[in-house]
């Protein structure tokens, strides 16, 4: 459940969240839990106050806010059972080791805040995000994890929208063109919209990176987001081929 909190802060000196907003989030969480679903709540984009500011000049200010928000969220939900999980951020924009250090401090504030509230939060599974939740960047920059004094209750989150040309690109760019057809056996005859990179072997290599770096070291990895947009093409044949290709992509990444 992607949640924005910033717009519902009543007192910016203390970062007090509106009680009515916490109650509304709880209402939605309960919809999921009552249907036997594992449920994750996070601090999502939220205007980018954290995600666009993994920077040294914002580190102190944002850590205070991150700790205050997660203390309140965790207190509100601390009696919920283990099928409710917390995720500290969403897609924090990180491109270098300095920014990675700042992100780790934000994730540490998240963990510390949640654990300090007691109750079921002492043992709740917590999810931390790799830099930009990008597999390559996470593999290159995330060499250490924040500290959780509870063993084996921390997992890593990444997202997957590769190749972007197929998954989300909405117009041709100087660096590449849109793909409509992806995967072995799913290309369209003589089309210049067939994927020319990022297909099955690339998927395999990307997830192998996460297996080697984290899963083989007993750190679970969750794929928090993935997908490919549905396009509307000119001919029935192209449309059918695109939709079949899109379904194949989703199945391949899932399996």
State the burial class of residue 104 (Cβ atoms within 10 Å of its Cβ: 0-12, 13-18, 19+): buried
Could you tell me which residues are beta bridge partners of residue 127? 87, 155
Give the integer Cα–Cα distance in Å for 40 and 38: 7
* Catalytic residue IDs: 91, 225
Query: Nearest-CA neighbor of 146 among 78, 89, 195, 223?
Result: 89
101 burial class (0-12, 13-18, 19+ CB within 10 angstroms)? middle
Collapsing DSSP to helix, strand or coil, 42 comes out as strand
How far apart are alpha carbons 195 and 184 in whole angstroms? 10
| Torsion angles phi and psi, residue 199, rounded to 5 | -95, -150
């Amino acid at each position: 459940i992607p949640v924005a909190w910033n717009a519902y802060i009543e007192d910016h000196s203390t970062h007090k969240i509106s009680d009515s907003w916490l109650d509304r989030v709880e209402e939605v969480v309960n919809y999921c839990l009552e249907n036997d679903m594992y449920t994750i709540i996070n601090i999502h984009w939220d205007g980018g106050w954290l995600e666009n500011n993994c920077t040294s000049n914002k580190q102190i200010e944002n850590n205070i806010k991150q700790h205050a928000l997660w203390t309140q969220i965790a207190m509100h939900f601390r009696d919920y059972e283990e099928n409710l999980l917390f995720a500290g951020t969403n897609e924090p924009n990180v491109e270098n080791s300095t920014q990675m250090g700042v992100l780790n401090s934000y994730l540490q504030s998240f963990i510390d805040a949640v654990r300090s509230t007691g109750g079921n939060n002492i043992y709740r599974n917590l999810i931390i995000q790799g830099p930009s939740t990008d597999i390559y960047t996470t593999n290159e920059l995330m060499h250490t994890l924040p500290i959780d004094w509870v063993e084996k209750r921390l997992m890593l989150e990444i997202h997957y929208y590769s190749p972007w040309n197929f998954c989300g690109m909405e117009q041709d760019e100087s660096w590449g063109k849109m793909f409509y057809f992806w995967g072995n056996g799913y290309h369209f005859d003589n089309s210049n919209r067939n994927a020319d990179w990022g297909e099955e072997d690339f998927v395999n290599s990307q997830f192998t990176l996460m297996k080697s770096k984290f899963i083989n070291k007993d750190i679970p990895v969750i794929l928090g987001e993935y997908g490919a947009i549905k396009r509307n093409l000119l001919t029935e044949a192209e449309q059918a081929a695109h939709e079949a290709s899109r379904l194949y992509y989703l199945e391949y990444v899932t399996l």
